[in-house]
Amino acid sequence: MRVKDSLVILPAVRDPRLVSVRRGGHLTEADHQLLALWAATCAEHVLGLFEETNREDDRPRAAIEAARAWARGEAKMMATRAIGGHAMGAARPLRGAPRFAAYAAGQAACVAHVPEHDLGAAAYAIKAAAVAVSPDQEREAARAERDWQRQQIPDHLRALVLEDQRRRNSICWSVFEA
């Protein structure tokens, strides 16, 4: 689990089922919003790992709130994406669980722009949970976080998200493996 992190979590070939209708894909606005809410839930689940050591920095929490506001129709996509970028800026100087938790929040907000960032939020949250424990407990912590996340997926999107996890597992640091 202790691998170099990279922000490249988007596939070279996009699945039209995960591209919004507005951009020529098949993903409805309602399902796009549900993916943003799921990503925000994943990021919020590990947010405490960031906030424990960075109490004064509210950028990751603001990104999660922005993702939810966008999903409710209360925020513009570009503003939400920018707030996500600020959360990722909070991550850059950090290491370990706080860094990955902040990246998870930033990715969650970026779902408003590109739905496939949902797996970025989930993958970074899994990485945060894994590196927050001792090395001998990493695998179990990662598995527990992944399983918890899967329980949060909206029922009618479950098959699509699980298929996407299998498809992009290798570019998401293999965190979705069993």
Q: 110: which 2 tokens?
A: 């970026």
Q: How far apart are CA 175 and CA 74, in angstroms?
A: 32
- Confirm if 106 and 87 have CB atoms less than 8 A apart: yes
Q: What tens-digit pLDDT sequence spans the chain (178 residues)? A: 444 445 568 888 899 999 999 999 999 999 999 999 999 999 999 999 999 999 999 999 999 999 999 999 999 999 999 999 999 999 999 999 999 999 999 999 999 999 999 999 999 999 999 999 999 999 999 999 999 999 999 999 999 999 999 999 999 999 999 5
Q: How far apart are CA 108 and CA 101, in angstroms?
A: 11
Chain centre to alpha carbon of residue 95: 18
pLDDT at residue number 1:
42
What local confidence, expressed as pLDDT, does residue 12 receive? 86
The encoded tokens of residue 139 equal 């695998």
